Amino acid sequence: MTSIRQSWLDIPVDSHFSLRNIPFGIISTAADPHRRPAVAIGNYALDLLEFSNSGGFRQSGFTNTSVFENPTLNAFGALGRAAHRLVRTYIQDILAASGPYPDLLERNHPLRERTLLPLSSVQNHLPLEIGDYTDFFVGRNHAYNCGVIFRGPDNALNPNYYHVPVGYHGRASSIVISGTPIKRPVGQILPDPTAVPKIPVLAPTQRLDYELEFAAFIATGNNMSERINVNDAEQHIFGYVLMNDWSARDVQAWEYVPLGPFTAKNFGTSISAWVVLSDALEPFRTKPLARPADAGDVLPYLKEKNEESVYDIELQVFYQTTDGDKAVISKGSTKYLLFSFAQMIAHHTVTGANLRPGDLIASGTISGEDSGSLGSLLEKSQAGKVHIAIGQSTRTFLQDGDTITFTAAADDGSGAGLVGFGKVTGTILAPDY
Amino acid sequence: MTSIRQSWLDIPVDSHFSLRNIPFGIISTAADPHRRPAVAIGNYALDLLEFSNSGGFRQSGFTNTSVFENPTLNAFGALGRAAHRLVRTYIQDILAASGPYPDLLERNHPLRERTLLPLSSVQNHLPLEIGDYTDFFVGRNHAYNCGVIFRGPDNALNPNYYHVPVGYHGRASSIVISGTPIKRPVGQILPDPTAVPKIPVLAPTQRLDYELEFAAFIATGNNMSERINVNDAEQHIFGYVLMNDWSARDVQAWEYVPLGPFTAKNFGTSISAWVVLSDALEPFRTKPLARPADAGDVLPYLKEKNEESVYDIELQVFYQTTDGDKAVISKGSTKYLLFSFAQMIAHHTVTGANLRPGDLIASGTISGEDSGSLGSLLEKSQAGKVHIAIGQSTRTFLQDGDTITFTAAADDGSGAGLVGFGKVTGTILAPDY
């Protein structure tokens, strides 16, 4: 594929799903509620099960088409990156103007009718069944900003921070697809953190927040007690999604010592529907955040041959209040990471933990360098001190009825179109209390 | 069933698997490597798939026998406690001397031959597929002992400890069945915690430890955003197993701030093979640890109607060194918990996290009141200061080739036999480094 290849399909210039993207997801429709794999292209989903059943892959060289009979992408993911590449480039060939297979789909209107479904007509589902979900904390700017809020600028980052890709295991069961409403959680909160003795109450969180994150699905895992080498780690990644790690800050503050966040975060985590494959992100590689001179180097098991180990994909946070006020309140990038996903994977497996196809690994909150690129309300509102303007409204934390939408898209100005993630969106419902 | 009912099978008096136990597991044999459900009785496993296929459940009133065709107990668990009770009491009737169905198994020697397999001939496998695994920290004596070691007696327990059943999400993928060897992990360690700057090395852990835990499998879950009431919570439990939460203390000390243990614990967690149902533990109820007067009461969502909300089951830690020295180094009880499993479940779901059939919830390390009942080497060795005698050997932490075995059994002296858990055992292998 050259960078200016176009499709015979009419793909809007601002579509996230250009010919050079081809992200994978799981769909159903009103006519067929059976969950099945698809790719997004322009304003359509290409139904891979129907396409495969109609012989669409016969000329592809891809023989494992039975994986498209599954209601998740785990089996496809587990085939490994060579298989993903084969299928993705073949689909690009099918969809390319003046491509090698014009009779297969472009001129086959009955098959187009059956397999190209308007995105507006499809329901998305979780793309993979998630075994374990791990959330890292390698968005250094976010870690620093939170550290300043809670401990002041001199001790903002813990001594281990520049050496350990800090992470923790999160809750897999409550990961939901974009569009799922989030009910305001009710949890243990300390009404007055300065009072003695410390007596909590059970109450709806008053500090409900979003966290802007980027996450990778594991394609192929490792055996227990075996490490994944940092320079092989990208081969284990299926692709990426956007994530909103909803967080109750008051619950978190009370519960997190000494074992980390628990009920403050396990009530719901939203992800975008379409998994953008690693290959589609190759043009957007860049270097991770520089290490300060006094931090020293990382340990050898975290040292990467490829210095451009993260991606520069523009992130946006769109806020819509329950009153209909709207604003883009943050513009950031996926590049503001101290450690790459390859480093996170190498560290995740260093003591021998086994990853499995479908595991989800998230970056932690990503904030940029300035106040316009922060990835959480905790940072934007300075823990509730600063009111954020959204049209005629102001906010410190989320109110019932508010909707948060993250979008992300990469563009290198080549004219070849966007490589985007669509969106991850969620609306806050009033608590059940 | 009366408490003195006996079986027509010859069950040794010290067997953990008396007629009043009937724990469930998953087995395979050399002759049939297909994984299938079974119950343990005396020195035998009763193959439930074969028994069911032979019409064994026709008179039981239990019609969902297709669940026994699964290679895990998730589907059986998901049927709920009434179904578990029906099947367990029916199997007790089948196995009881002078029981109502003597022709079904006792006098049917061909069926006995096919379904009653010597335990020595069966291979056990994980009894349920574990979606999410959560480890709590409600063994108060352990929490206090560790707090004293790290922070001194005045600040041993954090201010939230008596109000929050503290817990965190653990790694599900690396939970293994008893008998699986554990390779000594290699991880980030700070060689000299007092040096400045703090520069870690990658090295095999020098402080490999066990943690003596008790864990519950979830039978039936809850929907996201719905809470499980503390007084309904036991109805969601399938049964219990012993757990060894292997831990690398030096890795843990360096990594755990601020998000909790990660690579220090996710390399392997061992569980016993046979799930002891809640009903079998009813005779052994007792009260949890008393709350100190100045701790105040728990919040209403954690208040239980039944004061006897934990079990008194004797725990033993058996150490065998690589040189063959042997000793029972701890005798404790599952009763030393500040919060019951019902309270852990109520808290786990308080903000709306959904539990699913097969989820595993562990107590955290259980230590008794004195030095003979401690649940970890960290406590027994006072963080490496005290050498523990094991025959002719001494230890502070685990050495390669050492084997740790936990056993647990309850006995009320009624003569009706033990309700035991068998064992969870694991041997440490040399690191791959």
User: Which CATH number belongs to the domain containing residue B355 in this structure?
Assistant: 3.90.850.10
- Residue of B129, B262, B347 to mutate when probing chain A, most A C-beta within 10 A: B262
What pLDDT is attached to residue A432?
85
Mean per-residue pLDDT over chain B, rounded: 97
Find tokens 């180097």 and name the residue.
Answer: A297
For residues A146 and A379, the answer to whether their CB atoms sit within 8 Å is yes
**Between A and B, how many CB-CB pairs are < 8 A?**
206
- Whether the bond between B159 and the residue before it is cis, its omega within 30 degrees of 0, is no
Q: Tell me whether residues B174 and A301 touch, CB distance under 8 A.
A: no
Whether chain A has a CB inside 8 Å of the CB on B163: the answer is yes
> Does any domain span residue B57?
yes
Specify the pLDDT at position A151: 87
> Quick one: which of B375, B377, B126, B169 has its CA closest to B271?
B126
pLDDT digits (tens, 9 = 90+) for B294-343: 999 999 999 999 999 999 999 999 999 999 999 999 999 999 999 999 99
Interface contact A294, partner B, CB < 8 A: yes
Q: Are B129 and A172 in contact (CB under 8 A)?
A: no
Burial of B239 (0-12, 13-18, 19+ CB in 10 A): buried
Same domain, B79 and B197: no
User: Does residue B141 contact residue B376 with C-beta atoms inside 8 Å?
Assistant: no
Number of domains comprising chain A: 2
pLDDT at B221 over 70: yes
Q: Is there a contact between A160 and B200 if contact means CB atoms under 8 Å apart?
A: yes
What CA–CA distance (Å, rounded) separates A226 from B174?
Answer: 12
Please identify which of the residues B16, B84, B142, B236 carries the catalytic annotation: B142
Judge: A188–B163 Cβ closer than 8 Å, yes or no: yes
B355 inside 8 A of chain A by CB: yes
Cα of B40 to nearest chain A Cα, Å: 29
Look at residues B258, B244, B81, B278 and name the one whose alpha carbon lies nearest to residue B176.
Answer: B244
Strands, E, within B384-418: which ranges?
Answer: 388-390, 393-395, 403-410
What does the DSSP 8-state code read for residue A258?
T
Answer whether residue B2 shows pLDDT above 70. Answer: no
Considering only CB atoms, which chain A residues are within 8 Å of B248? 351
Q: Which residue, B124, B152, B170, sits at the end of a domain?
A: B124
The 10 Å CB-count burial string (b at 16+, else e) for A130-164 is bbbbbbbbbbbbbbbbbbbbeeeeeebbbbbbbbb
Contact criterion met (CB below 8 Å) for A125 and A32: no
The Cα of A289 is separated from the nearest Cα of chain B by a number of Å equal to 20
SS3 B118: strand
pLDDT at A34: 98
Question: Do the annotations mark residue B399 as ligand-binding?
Answer: no
For residue A4, being part of any structural domain is answered with no
Residue among A225, A229, A270, A350 with most chain B CBs within 10 A, to mutate: A225
A236 touches chain B (CB under 8 A): no
Domain boundary among B81, B107, B124: B124
Each residue of B163-204: pLDDT tens digit? 999 999 999 999 999 999 999 999 999 999 899 899 999 999
Mark which residues 121-150 of A lie under 8 Å from B by CB.
131-132, 137
Q: Give pLDDT, residue B106.
A: 97
Q: How many CA atoms lie within 13 A of A265 on its CB side?
A: 26
- Residue B1, in any domain of the structure: no
Q: CB–CB of A296 and B200 under 8 A?
A: no
Indicate whether B362 pLDDT > 70: yes
Q: What is the pLDDT of residue A1?
A: 43
Between positions 311 and 340 of A, the ones with CB within 8 A of B are none
Q: Which residues pair with A271 in a beta bridge?
A: A177, A243
Residue A198 CB: number of other CB atoms within 10 A?
A: 17
Q: Is residue A12 part of a domain?
A: no
Tell me if A185 sits within 8 A of A205, measured CB to CB.
yes
Query: Do A56 and A199 sit in the same domain of this protein?
Result: no
Q: Across the beta sheet with B116-118, what order do the strands follow? A: B116-118, B44-47, B36-41, B24-29, B122-125
Q: How far apart are CA A413 and CA A90, in angstroms?
A: 24
Domain that holds residue B382: 133-429
Q: Does residue B202 sit at the A interface (CB-CB below 8 Å)? A: yes
* Nearest-by-CA chain B residue for A428: B225
Contacts of A253 in chain B (CB under 8 A): none
Does B135 belong to an annotated binding site? yes
CB contact under 8 Å between B173 and A299, yes or no, is no
Do residue A70 and residue A154 come from a single domain?
Answer: no
Residue A8 lies in a domain: no
Taking the Cβ of residue B353 and every Cβ of chain A, the question of whether any pair is shorter than 8 Å is answered with: yes
**B430: helix, strand or coil:** coil
Q: Does B264 touch chain A (CB under 8 A)?
A: yes
- Give the residue from chain B lying closest to A204, CA to CA: B351
Cα distance between residue B130 and residue B172, in whole Å: 6
Distance from CA of A325 to the nearest CA of B (A): 27
B137 is in an annotated binding site: yes
Residue type for A144, please?
A: Y
| A230 at B interface, C-beta within 8 A | no
Buried b (16+ CB within 10 A) or exposed e, B316-347: bbbbbbeeebebebbebbbbbbbbbbbbbbbb
Structure token digits, residue A139: 């968005």
**Do residue A372 and residue A355 come from a single domain?**
yes
Is the distance from CB of A141 to CB of A234 less than 8 angstroms? no
Q: Domain check: are B148 and B43 in the same one? A: no
Q: Do residues B120 and B259 both lie within one domain?
A: no
Judgement on whether residues B93 and B37 belong to the same structural domain of the protein = yes
Please name the residue of chain B whose CA is at the shortest distance from the CA of residue A159: B198
- Does B162 reach chain A within 8 Å, measured CB to CB? no
Active site residue A142: yes
Name which of B259, B187, B225, B267 is nearest B351 in CA terms. B225
Write down the pLDDT at residue A2.
Answer: 47
State the pLDDT at residue A359. 98
DSSP codes of every residue in B272-302: -S-BEEHHHHGGGEE--PPPPGGG-PPPGGG
Q: What is the pLDDT of residue B1?
A: 43
Chain B residues closer than 8 Å to A166 by CB = 255, 258-259, 262
Return the percent helix, strand and coil in chain A, to nearest 5: 20, 30, 50
pLDDT means per 10 residues, chain A with 433 residues, are 78 97 98 98 98 97 98 98 98 97 97 98 98 98 94 92 98 98 98 92 98 98 98 98 98 95 98 98 97 94 97 98 98 98 98 98 97 97 97 97 98 93 98 86
CATH of the domain at B96: 2.30.30.230
pLDDT-based confidence at residue B5 (cuts at 50, 70, 90): confident
Radius of gyration of chain A (CA): 22
Domain assignment present for residue A284? The answer is yes
Q: Is residue A10 part of a domain?
A: no
A254 touches chain B (CB under 8 A): yes
**CA A352 to mean position of chain CA atoms:** 25
Question: Do A169 and B225 lie within an 8 Å CB cutoff?
Answer: no
Structure tokens at A128: 């993979």
- Answer yes or no: do B347 and A263 touch at CB < 8 A: yes
d(C-alpha A60, C-alpha B83), whole Å: 50
B138 and B120 within one domain? no
Across the interface, of A167, A174, A258, the residue whose CB is closest to B158 is: A258
- What residues of B are in contact with residue A259 (Cβ under 8 Å)? 137, 166-168, 256, 260-261
Chosen domain end from B124, B148, B167: B124
φ, ψ for residue A124 (rounded to 5)? Answer: -95, 150
- Work out the angle at residue B416's Cα, subtended by the Cα atoms of residues B36 and B409, and round it to the nearest 5 degrees: 60
Query: A262 and B224 in contact by Cβ < 8 A?
Result: no
**How many residues are present in chain B?**
433
A232 and A94, same structural domain?
no
* Proportion of chain B in helix, strand, coil states, percent, rounded to 5: 20, 30, 50
What is the pLDDT at residue A433?
75
Identify the sign of the CA torsion A164, A168, A172, A177: negative
Asked whether residue A410 falls in the same domain as residue A364, the answer is yes
Alpha carbon distance B127, B202 (integer Å): 35
Q: Which residues pair with A215 in a beta bridge?
A: A241, A362
Of B131, B164, B171, the CB nearest to A169: B171
Within 8 A by CB and 6+ apart from A430, the residues are A183, A184, A400, A401
- Residue whose tokens read 């060897």: B181
Read off the tokens for B244.
Answer: 């060894």
Q: Inter-chain contact B351–A172, Cβ cutoff 8 Å?
A: no
Chain A residues within an 8 Å CB radius of B221: 173
Shared-domain flag, residues A362 and A297? yes
Minimal CA separation from A199 to chain B, in Å: 8
My answer on whether B52 and B150 are in the same domain is no
> Is position A235 within any domain?
yes
Q: Is the CB of residue B225 less than 8 Å away from at least one CB of chain A?
A: yes
User: A16, A84, A142, A348: which is the annotated catalytic residue?
Assistant: A142
Q: Measured between beta carbons, which residues in chain A are less than 8 angstroms from residue B255?
A: 160, 164, 166
Tens digits of per-residue pLDDT, B38-82?
999 999 999 999 999 999 999 999 999 999 999 999 999 999 999
